[in-house]
Amino acid sequence: MNSIIKVKNVFKSYWRNSIEIPVLNDLSLEVEEGEFLALMGPSGSGKTTLLNLIAGIDRPTKGEIIVADTDISKLNESSLAKWRADHVGFVFQFYNLIPVLTAYENVELPLLLTKLSKAERKKHVETALSIVGLADRLNHYPKQLSGGQEQRVAIARAIVTDPTILVADEPTGDLDKKSASEILTLMDRLNKEFKKTIVMVTHDPHAAEKASRKLHLEKGELVGV
């Protein structure tokens, strides 16, 4: 199996009032294509930080991050933006939909950066929304949807571009049990049926059960499973 994500000796610090706060310490990690990885660990251990580095929305202080054969730590700002659009789907804890756009428009958003025609975009958006079971909510605004439905729209937005990897930061963190389990079933399906590589941060041991591998992060270091 070949590793689609390679994190090599990564250090990450934040600076607050010129005091260095080390978050990740010499962290290395490989994720194989088609894997569903759950990242667990206490609050403040650096899970979100690691996920952001893998997804290319933040840069390591030191070390390499290679995703699908690209060393993204070496890309400049605009190539990195382009790379994200092409390769990564994001799911956040708080859904992060644009409130003035309908479900359809939110899912269409990443496709505006592609060369797809309006008709092609429509086909993709409708497919993505039907995968998450919301084909009948196209014209609803986020505030007209339940939390679980909002998160499903967010997942549709994450998969509509058919990204190389899917990253999810506590996707069930803000949901009730039933909605959470629907989301997890969906993630599982995306992994098994659509062969998506998924890295998911979660606090919830139940959520982690769906994953094919679990890793624990503690004080910026991975500890054995």
Ligand X SMILES: Nc1ncnc2c1ncn2[C@@H]1O[C@H](COP(=O)(O)OP(=O)(O)OP(=O)(O)O)[C@@H](O)[C@H]1O
Binding residues (CB under 8 A) for another protein: these are 52, 55, 57-58, 77-78, 81-82, 84-86, 90, 92, 96, 98-101, 105, 108-110, 112-113, 157
Applying CB under 5 A, among 24, 29, 39, 48 the residue interacting with Mg ion is 48
> How many CB atoms are closer than 10 A to CB 192?
13
Nearest CA-CA partner of 40 in 177, 212, 208: 208
- The alpha carbon of residue 84 and the mean position of all alpha carbons in its chain are separated, in whole angstroms, by 11
Binding mask 12-51 for ligand X (x = CB under 6 A): --x-x----x-x-----------------x-xxxxxxx--
Could you say which DSSP state residue 15 is in? E
Residue tagged 């929304």 (tokens): 129
Rounded CA separation 165/149 (Å): 22
Smallest distance from another protein to CB 110, Å: 5
Nearer Cβ to ligand X (44/133): 44
Smallest distance from ligand X to CB 61, Å: 12
Smallest distance from Mg ion to CB 199, Å: 13
H-type alpha helices, the chain = 47-55, 77-87, 103-108, 118-131, 147-159, 177-192, 205-209
- Given the rule CB under 6 A, which residues bind ligand X? 14, 16, 21, 23, 41, 43-49
Query: By the criterion CB under 5 A, which residues form the site for Mg ion?
Result: 48
